[in-house]
Amino acid sequence: MTLSRDTGLGVLAIVLAGAYYAEAGNIQQSLLADAVGADGVPRMLAAGMALTGLALAGRGFVRPAAGKGDDLPASAHLRAAGLLAILVVYLLAVPVAGYPLSVAALIAAVAVYAGARANAALAITSVAGAAAFWFMFKWLLGIQLPVGMLSWG
């Protein structure tokens, strides 16, 4: 029996989620910790990754393994490399531009890369999306965000 790539990737995701979950337990607890604790969000992310890996592995058992002719074309790999390049630029921009401006630029860049037209609606969506993420992380979750030299935090 040949297992599909989905099964292998799903099992790998489950193993990585387990390691991530175990490492989250090593986060030092503060005397000021809330009910969730410092390790709460990382452990929830690990659980989500494990569930996703389980679904992917299950899909791999249901769907037969891909044949030799089912490989992705080179253009799909180049498209993924383009998204990776956008994320690298984002990571380099965050310390300089700060979180809100960098996220707004990230939203716009990914949308344009996916085929959206650069217009006023995209600009409004990018700014509103960045503001929503900033509000959620900064004010609802109390996470300190990179301020950068060109932004507020």
Same domain, 78 and 58: no
pTM score of the predicted model: 0.59
| Residue ranges of the chain with per-residue pLDDT less than 70 | 1-3, 29-38, 64-71, 150-153
3-state SS record for 93-126? HHHHHCHHHHHHHHHHHHHHHCCCCCCHHHHHHH
Structure confidence by residue, pLDDT tens digits, 14-29: 999 999 888 887 777 6
Same domain, 81 and 43: no
Same domain, 58 and 109: no
Same domain, 62 and 81: no
What residues contact residue 122 under an 8 Å CB cut-off, 6+ apart?
A: 108, 111, 112, 116
Same domain, 61 and 79: no
Which residues span the domain enclosing 56? 1-66
Domain total for the chain?
2
Same domain, 96 and 133: yes
Q: What is the pLDDT of residue 143?
A: 78
Residue with tokens 């180049």: 78
Same domain, 102 and 122: yes
Same domain, 30 and 96: no
Same domain, 81 and 51: no
From CA 77, how far away is CA 67, in angstroms rounded?
Answer: 18
Q: What is the pLDDT of residue 150?
A: 64
Q: What is the pLDDT of residue 66?
A: 57
